[in-house]
Structure 1
Amino acid sequence: MKFRTIRIGPVPVGIIAHDDIASHSGQNAMTAARAPLIGPILILDNIGDGTLTLSALFIVDGGEHPPPVETPGGVHDVEVLARFDSATVWRTRFDLPADRPSEYHWNGESYLVAGDLRDDLRIAFVSCNGEEIGDLEREGSERNAMWARLCQAHREDPFAMLLHGGDQVYADEVTQGHPLSEDWPSQFPDDPSQADLADLRHHLRERFFDRYAALYAAPEFAWIAARVPSLMQWDDHDICDGWGSLRRWQTHSVVGQTLFAAARESFLIFQQAAAEGDLPARFHDPAGHHLGWGVRAPGLRILAPDLRSERTRRSVMGTGGWSMMEAEAATGASGRTLLMSSVPLLGPRLSILEALMVVIPRMQKYEDDLRDQWQSRAHRAEWARMLRLVRDMARADGQNLTVVSGEIHLATRAVMGLAEGLRIDQLVASGIAHRAPPVAWARFLGSLAQLGEAPLPRHRVRILPLPGQRGRYVAQRNYLVLERRSDTWQATWNLENSGLTPPLSL
Structure 2
Amino acid sequence: MSSSTRTTGPITGPATGRITGPILILDDLRDGRMHLAALFIAPKGAALPPVQLDRGEAQPATLAEYSTRTVLRARFSLPADCPSAYQWNGTRYELAGGFGGDLRIAYAACNGEEHGDLDRDGAERNAMWARMGAEHAEHPFSLLLHGGDQVYADEVTDGHPLSQDWPDRIPRDPARADLANLMHHLRERFLQRYLAVYTAPEFAWIAARVPSLMQWDDHDICDGWGSLRRSRTYSPVGQTLFSAAREAALLFQHGCCDGDLPARFADPEGSHLGWCIEAPGLRLLAPDLRSERSRRRVMARSGWRLMKAAAEKRFAGRSLILSSVPLLGPRLSLLEFLMVLIPRMQKYEDDLRDQWQSRAHRASWRRMLRMLRDMAAQEGHEVTAVSGEIHLAARGEMALGGGKVLHQLVASGISHRAPPKAWAKALGLLSWLGDAPLPGHPIRIRRIPGQAGRYAAERNYLVLERRGADWSASWELETSGRSSPLAL
TM-score if structure 1 supplies the norm length?
0.94
Corresponding residue for residue 373 of structure 1: 355
Moved more, 49-58 or 349-358: 349-358
Are residue 322 (structure 1) and residue 330 (structure 2) matched? no
Alpha-carbon contact 1:305-1:324 (below 8 Å) kept: yes
The 2-side partners of 1:18 and 1:385 are apart by 52
- 1:276 aligns to what SS in structure 2? coil
Corresponding residue for residue 194 of structure 1: 176
Once the two structures are superposed, residues 397-448 of structure 1 have per-residue CA deviations (whole angstroms, 9 ceiling, x without a partner) of: 4333110000000000000011110010000000100000000000000000
Aligned residue pair count: 486
How far 1:72 moved relative to its partner? Answer: 2.0
Are residue 423 (structure 1) and residue 432 (structure 2) matched? no
Corresponding residue for residue 228 of structure 1: 210
- 1:454 aligns to what SS in structure 2? coil
Are residue 218 (structure 1) and residue 200 (structure 2) matched? yes
Alpha-carbon contact 1:344-1:426 (below 8 Å) kept: yes
Which of 263, 274, 279 is the aligned partner of 2:256? 274
How far 1:34 moved relative to its partner? Answer: 7.7
- 2:41 aligns to what SS in structure 1? strand
Which of 50, 61, 72 is the aligned partner of 1:79? 61
Alpha-carbon contact 1:398-1:422 (below 8 Å) kept: no
Alpha-carbon contact 1:103-1:112 (below 8 Å) kept: yes
Alpha-carbon contact 1:284-1:294 (below 8 Å) kept: yes
Are residue 55 (structure 1) and residue 37 (structure 2) matched? yes
| Residues 362-401 of structure 1 aligned to structure 2 (within 5 Å) | 362-401=344-383
The 1-side partners of 2:296 and 2:362 are apart by 10
The 1-side partners of 2:9 and 2:136 are apart by 20
The 2-side partners of 1:292 and 1:397 are apart by 26
The 2-side partners of 1:274 and 1:18 are apart by 24
- 2:360 aligns to what SS in structure 1? helix
| Residues 21-100 of structure 1 aligned to structure 2 (within 5 Å) | 35-100=17-82
Are residue 451 (structure 1) and residue 450 (structure 2) matched? no
Once the two structures are superposed, residues 257-283 of structure 1 have per-residue CA deviations (whole angstroms, 9 ceiling, x without a partner) of: 000000000000000000001100000
Corresponding residue for residue 442 of structure 2: 460
Q: Which amino acid aligns with 2:203?
A: F
- 2:381 aligns to what SS in structure 1? coil
The 2-side partners of 1:181 and 1:399 are apart by 48
The 1-side partners of 2:282 and 2:16 are apart by 38
The 2-side partners of 1:465 and 1:153 are apart by 24
Are residue 358 (structure 1) and residue 358 (structure 2) matched? no
Corresponding residue for residue 163 of structure 1: 145
Over aligned residues, Cα RMSD in angstroms? 1.7
Q: From the superposition, tell whether residues 489 and 316 of structure 1 become closer, same or farther in structure 2 (CA, over 3 Å).
A: same
Corresponding residue for residue 424 of structure 2: 442
Once the two structures are superposed, residues 291-326 of structure 1 have per-residue CA deviations (whole angstroms, 9 ceiling, x without a partner) of: 100000110000000000000100101111100000
The 1-side partners of 2:347 and 2:361 are apart by 19
Stretches of structure 2 that go unaligned for 5 or more consecutive residues are none
Alpha-carbon contact 2:167-2:232 (below 8 Å) kept: yes
Corresponding residue for residue 246 of structure 1: 228
Which of 264, 279, 294 is the aligned partner of 1:297? 279
Once the two structures are superposed, residues 39-89 of structure 1 have per-residue CA deviations (whole angstroms, 9 ceiling, x without a partner) of: 000000000110000000011112112110011231111100111001101
How far 1:11 moved relative to its partner? Answer: 10
The 2-side partners of 1:338 and 1:504 are apart by 15
- 2:437 aligns to what SS in structure 1? strand
Stretches of structure 1 that go unaligned for 5 or more consecutive residues are 1-6, 21-32
How far 1:105 moved relative to its partner? Answer: 0.9
TM-score if structure 2 supplies the norm length?
0.97
Corresponding residue for residue 3 of structure 1: none
Q: Where has structure 1 moved over 2 Å in runs of 4 or more?
A: 14-20, 397-400
Once the two structures are superposed, residues 321-364 of structure 1 have per-residue CA deviations (whole angstroms, 9 ceiling, x without a partner) of: 10000011111211010000000001111121111112211110
Corresponding residue for residue 118 of structure 1: 100
Alpha-carbon contact 2:340-2:349 (below 8 Å) kept: no
Q: From the superposition, tell whether residues 15 and 243 of structure 1 become closer, same or farther in structure 2 (CA, over 3 Å).
A: farther
Corresponding residue for residue 204 of structure 1: 186
Q: Which amino acid aligns with 1:407?
A: E
- 2:271 aligns to what SS in structure 1? coil
Are residue 349 (structure 1) and residue 306 (structure 2) matched? no
Are residue 148 (structure 1) and residue 130 (structure 2) matched? yes
Alpha-carbon contact 1:411-1:476 (below 8 Å) kept: yes
